[in-house]
Every structure is written in C-alpha cells, then in structure tokens.
Amino acid sequence: MPAKWLKDTVFYEIYPQSFRDTNGDGIGDLNGIIEKLDYIRDLGCNALWINPCFDSPFKDAGYDVRDYKKVAPRYGTNSDLYRLFGEAHRRGMRVLLDLVPGHTSEEHAWFKMSGKAEPNEYSNRYIWTNHWWQGCRDMPYIGGECERAATYVLNFFKCQPALNYGFARVEQPWQLPVDHPDCIATREAVKDVMRFWLSHGCDGFRVDMANSLVKYDDEKKSATSAVWRDIRGMLDAEFPDAALVAEWSCPPQALRAGYDMDFCLNNDDTGYYTLMRDYQTGEDNSYFKKDAARRDIRRFLNIYTDWYRDTKDLGYISLLTCNHDTVRPRFSLEPEELKLAYAFLFTMPGVPFLYYGDEIGMRYLQLPTKEGGYFRTGSRTPMQWDSGKNLGFSDGCADSLYLPVDPAADAPTVAAQQGDPASLLETVRALLSLRHKESDLQADADFSPLCADPERPFVYRRGSLLLAVNPAGAPADTGVDVSGREIIFAIGQAQADAGTLVLGAQSFAVVK
C-alpha cells in the first residue's frame, strides 16, 4: 500500500541549479529553495522533488553521481540540505531526493577501485567483460579508460558506468547472476545511501531509470522488480513512511515492484504526448490545442484506464505538467489552453507533479546543450520571479548564469501574475486549492470516463463529482444531465441548460 500521506499530495519539481540563486554565482542553491518554500506551499504544492543535488562532475547535470552522501558544493552543504528538510517539515511539506541507482559517475570512488588491475571488493561493483575487445550484446561499452584489462558497460552516457545488479540470463563467464554476493553487495550499497538520507529527514526518492538495474531482464522486468521488492522490504521495516516514485512508466510493473507511484511519461506507448505535445508530425493535434484539427483523447485514455484498473489498489499513477527531460507545455499551448490542460491533470487520480515555472507558463527556449541536456536544455532555464535583474533568479552577472533567462519583453513572471484571478498562476492556485478541499479529487477517489467522443467535451467522474472539459474554440453540449447538482468550479463558461451541462469555448467545470 502507498504511503498514507500521498492521498492529498501535489509535488513541485525543482531543478536546483535553475530555481533561485542566493549567493550571486549564477547557479541556484539549496538556500534559494528554502527562501521560496512559502511560495511553493501557498501555490498548493505540499511536497518537493529535487533533481540530483549530490556531488558530481556535472557531465549529465548531476545524474552522474560522484558521491551519494555529499551535497554538491555548487548547491551548498549537507547541513543546508538537512535544514531544507526541517524547514519543509515545519510547513507541513515533504521532500523527495533524486536517487540514481543504475550508474554512477566514472569519477566515483567505487569505479576508481573497480577499474584497478588487482581484484578488490569493488571489482564486481560494475559490469566488466573478461577482455578488452569483448563487449556486451545490445549494450554500449567502453575500454581503455582504466588499468584493468576489460571493457565496462554503460547505462547512459559515456561517463556513466552501469552498476552491477547481475544478469537475469547469464550467457558469458563474466556475467554474474542476480544472487551473486557481489550483486547483492551493490543492492546493499544502495540501501545504505537511502538509509543515510532518510535518517537525516528525507521523505523518499524519485528513482532514475528504475527499470534499468538487472541486465537481460525479461519484458516484465521480473528480476529488476525482485530487487526493488527487497529494497522495499528494508523501507517497510525501517522507514515505513518513506515514498518512492519510479521513472519506469509502466505502473503495473513498477507498483508491483514496491513503488508507491509511477510516472506516466511522455513516451509513444503511454499516449500522454497526445494531450499537450502532439506536434511530432508538424501538425499540432494536441488534445488541449484550441484549433486542433483532429482532437482525440482516446489514445491516452485507453492506455491510462487499463493501467488504472489494474493498479488502483496497489499505488498511484502520476501525471505531470512537464519535467526536466520534456519540452515545456508552453511550447505548443497558450496560457488559456494550459489552464484546461492543468485542470485535467490536477483533477485526475494519482499524485500529480508540477514542474517549476509551468505554473506561470514559462517558455521552452532553443539553446545549445548544457551539461548533457541536448534538446532538454531549453526546459531547464532559470525560474522567472519578477521583472528585476535576471528576472529575479540571481543578482549575479547575466553572463555567469547557469542558463540564460527568457529574453522576451513579455517573459512571464510570478510577480506579474500574482493576484490576477485571470492569470495562469492564480488558476493553478485555485485548482490545487479545490483539489485539497474536495476529497473526491484526491489521489485515491474513484475515476471513470463518461464521454470521450472526439466531437463532444470529455466528461469523467471522480467519486461523487462530475467533471467536464471543452478545449475547443466553440461552445459544446456535454449531453450530461446535472439536474439537482451545483457547479462548484469553472474555468470559462459553464451552465445548466434545461438540466444539461453546457460548456463555453475553452471551458472546464466541476459539478457536485
């Protein structure tokens, strides 16, 4: 069963180097997050997911960890992170850190020991072949980097050697089974990292590439799932309130592996992209696009409802506005369209995640790659707080910033939208307030789609509430009888016409 505190939780994802710089070096820091906790809480988010803040050479923006138990100096110190936990808890907020268990940096002390010619306790902490010329089937590998006469397997970039959790199918002498003592030692080392941060106040982890641990695993990820169930057993015994969210994007697998939540990511096999990012063919038919030529929510809904029915008693599916790996939704949607997209995301089951800056409609910027970001770099730009220097992100020189701020004259900011009921920011605040107020909009309330006809508004039920969204540019009749009910929340226009709910163009309604 998922952690009880997740029932009424909304997460705010923070890319720490881009959120708030308090020392003028152009890079965000932990003190900047602490400074803005009241803003996040008042927005309606009562939990944080902080992207990796551990010591790293930053060849992959911190997803190449050099020391799991040390805060990167660019962000502050371990004491600063402990203080962040305490300040968040004092405000009734939780904090998840980003755990990267599939690989480390090539500069990690474990890898340096593993690459030595003489055998030692870390020799099998990573996956090595027997010979310098012998690689892995279907896996990238590198040789010639260490004194050890072998190649090592990569989990992502060249700088990220794969940690060794074993092979589900052993085909070569250098491949170890999952139950080999050295593979179990890798698992125990990850438990040790988790214990360290949980004992200092962390409330759980978002787990990077959670399904990547055991190699040559089957389609159901059976061996990797067994590893996670073992880790979950440790958590249940020692930290029963801790929560885990997986970067897996297959809830039937992730939740059965012991996770509390799994993301529905922007992958072709989830249908999520059809909601806000259906622009790959050059014609944007995103469901929430006002002028979409072929609007259809069924691609997403068919997959989502199958997952929901299969997992509703196991844990939660997490929908997200965006994340650090995805083009921001403002790339394809205007603020009025975003209001409806967010209304849908924040009233669906599960535990939603809001990416920093999406609440004000920050734009995606076309930028050169930074720290392994590639196209993702444009979604990682500094948070835009006000119209002051560097849009309130930093008092440092503009040319020292981690990434440039939006140069447009109409760059959205918190200050410009604060207090304006018509703004995207205040709409998000109102939506999250409604979610916290109505238990039928929270994580575990029942969900059922009532009408997904492309020619009509999408209508769905959450508990005893009826919800409807009309993204189109013309009014539409939902065909749903709401006699004796009350419209308790609306974006745009909503009314009962002879007992039938009618929505204006680009409108959303909740009926009780």
For 505: left if phi > 0, alpha if psi spans -120 to 50, otherwise beta; the answer is beta
Q: C-alpha angle with apex 80: 79 to 84, nearest 5 degrees?
A: 115
Cα–Cα distance measured from residue 317 to residue 307, given in angstroms and rounded to the nearest whole number: 8
Domain boundaries, the chain: 8-100+264-273+307-439, 103-164, 446-511
205 pLDDT exceeds 90? yes
CA-to-CA distance for 439 and 432, rounded, in angstroms? 12
* For the chain, the helix, strand and coil percentages under 3-state DSSP, each to the nearest 5: 30, 20, 50
Amino acid 413: pLDDT: 98
Average pLDDT over residues 231-260: 98
What pLDDT, on a 0 to 100 scale, did the predictor assign at position 130?
Answer: 78
pTM over 0.95: yes
User: Which CATH number among 1.25.40.10, 3.40.50.150, 3.90.400.10, 3.20.20.70 corresponds to the domain 103-164?
Assistant: 3.90.400.10
Q: What is the pLDDT of residue 264?
A: 97
Q: 484-501, pLDDT tens digit by residue? A: 999 999 999 999 988 999
To the nearest whole number, what is the mean pLDDT of the chain? 96
Count each helix (H run) and each strand (E run) in the chain, helices first: 12, 20
The average pLDDT across 1-7 equals: 95
Tell me the pLDDT tens digit for each residue of 411-469.
999 999 999 999 999 999 999 999 999 999 999 999 999 999 999 999 999 999 999 99
Predicted confidence band of residue 134 (pLDDT cuts 50, 70, 90): low
Q: Residue 392 pLDDT more than 60?
A: yes
Distance from C-alpha of 141 to C-alpha of 30, rounded to nearest angstrom: 35
Range 446-511: architecture per CATH: Sandwich (2.60)
Helix segments in 386-510, DSSP class H = 414-417, 424-437
Q: Which of 204, 301, 304 is nearest to 259 (CA)?
A: 204
Distance between CA 244 and CA 232 in Å, rounded?
Answer: 9
> What value does the mean pLDDT take over residues 213-232?
97
Question: Would the pLDDT of 135 be above 60?
Answer: no
Task: Give the CATH number of domain 8-100+264-273+307-439.
Answer: 3.20.20.80
- Cβ atoms of 61 and 257 within 8 Å: the answer is no
